[in-house]
Amino acid sequence: MNTQPLPELVAQAQQLLTQIRQHPQYQRLNFDCDVTLGDVSQFFNTLQWEASASTVDVSTERFFQ
């Protein structure tokens, strides 16, 4: 099991997506698909935001001490 924080894993996936998009072999592919790399990129952007937001400590426990 991977113990890296989710935001780090998402950042790595986004980097790989950029590499795939720029790869000459990918650019030569001619296929039609319902999901584009832009869709996947948007998914990772949203996931990154949600994962980062969920790691913020919003508890008030220390605030009142």
Structure tokens at 19: 């590499």
| pLDDT for residue 31 | 79
> Is 59 within 8 Å of 11 (Cβ atoms)?
no
Tokens of 32: 């039609």
Lowest mean pLDDT among 2-6, 20-24, 48-52, 58-62: 58-62
Mean pLDDT across 27-38: 87
Q: pTM, whole model, 2 decimals?
A: 0.68
Distance CA 7, CA 54 (A): 10
